Amino acid sequence: MAIYYGEPSRTFSEYLLIPGYSSTECIPSKVSLKTPLVRYEKGQEPELSINIPMVSAIMQSVSDDRLAVALAQEGGLSFIYGSQPVEQQAEMVRRVKRYRAGFVVSDSNVSPDMTLGDVLAITERTGHSTVAVTEDGRSGGKLLGIVTNKDYRVSRMGPETKVSEFMTRFEDLVYADEDTTLKEANDIIWEHKINCLPLVNKKQELVYLVFRKDYDTHKKNENELIDTSKRYMVGAGINTRDYEERVPALVEAGADALCIDSSEGYSEWQRITLDYIRKKNGRSVKVGAGNVVDGDGFRFLAEAGADFVKVGIGGGAICITREQKGIGRGQATAVIEVAKARDEYFRETGIYVPICSDGGIVHDYHITLALAMGADFVMLGRYFARFDESPTKRVNINGSYMKEYWGEGSARARNWQRYDLGGDKKLSFEEGVDSFVPYAGSLHDNVSMTLSKVRSTMCNCGALTIPELQKRAKITLVSSTSIVEGGAHDVTLRDKR
């Protein structure tokens, strides 16, 4: 008969942390959330670390270049989705690496022949109030003007009004040369009392926009994740089919880390992919693998050369793998078991291979639990899909703003490579759904709040670093009754205004 586990697999919601002793030194402002991204040997420092234990999921509806920049500014890393043409993905990586802090590549653009209706559609979709007018309507085209909400009145202008009729023309703009420094740009903005300064090249082509509102933000980005050349760091997803073409293109584009994107990583296909990368690039290319849910899967990928291992099958908000195939494991149990295997591997070999908890995060405190259970960092999809910076549309559903969110195994994404078992190049059945998640605003505001909770909880446990948390944390199972007790109960709540 099959190997049978007597204990049920459990989720994060079935556990709570027990407070530990906190000294006067244990205050949130002193907590360090820095954590290793890739393997390292005992006594050495990892070649790559991240400043917060959060990375974004390898999904069409989550991780593009815009979100990658926003997350790197907070200290985390995005893995740009791989279910797109190789050159398109490589270009997203290049855009992140070219990004200069404070210098925005315009992604809201129109041509003079487009209409007010087009402008309104763009501002509704992106939330941006500034739209660049270029000759061909694309970013990087010849700049002909700018449109802001001060240039039009919806109540007095028809949606068919041409942009050329109401835009602020180039000759009336304050602009600067593309080589202008951020300090010089901000000085120009303050001197001329403007909100946006376009930077153009000698051909009058739009290169960057600098915004007044970003000034304070960039002053506060002390935690940003940058490489040795002070460029933002970015990751990218790959698969086990076209890696011979995709990996070199992503490396050339400047990707700092790669990750094999697969629903199940305990597979010969992943070993073959890792072997290829090691033979061609040695250990210079950092690549994670997964996903696995037990110690055997972890050891297989660690011995195959993975730089980190992703943990989790079927726990994502849009994942229906367990429902469709009856395969997976409760995320908390999976993390605990894999963390034990990671620590055993470290004792045996002196090599520490970080693990990433992927899926199953519903509440902010689940992140702290995942870290306490042994995860070095967490990968989040639904969490990031809710923000302004994610690539999906913001839509109004019954009076509430929502963001679109779909799984890589859904009919919409059709990312068959993620579920590839060596058969036909197609999805035989869906393992993900197409959905909406509540719109939550900016990434910065939400990540700041989440990490405030994580730091506060770590202090309650007497820990100032993630390794200290893993060493000192005390965790208890909770009953269904105590879960109810943990929320508001036996009261009548006031209406939220």
Provide the annotated active-site residues. Answer: 319, 418
Instruction: State the sign of the Cα–Cα–Cα–Cα dihedral 334, 450, 20, 45.
Output: positive
Q: Is residue 238 a contact partner of residue 247, using CB atoms and an 8 Å limit?
A: yes
CA dist., res. 274 & res. 429, Å (int): 27
Strand partners, 351: 41
Q: Could you list the residues known to form a binding site for K(+), using ranges.
A: 314, 316, 319
CA dist., res. 194 & res. 315, Å (int): 48
Q: Could you list the residues known to form a binding site, using ranges.
A: 261-263, 312-314, 316, 319
Q: Could you list the residues known to form a binding site for NAD(+), using ranges.
A: 261-263, 312-314
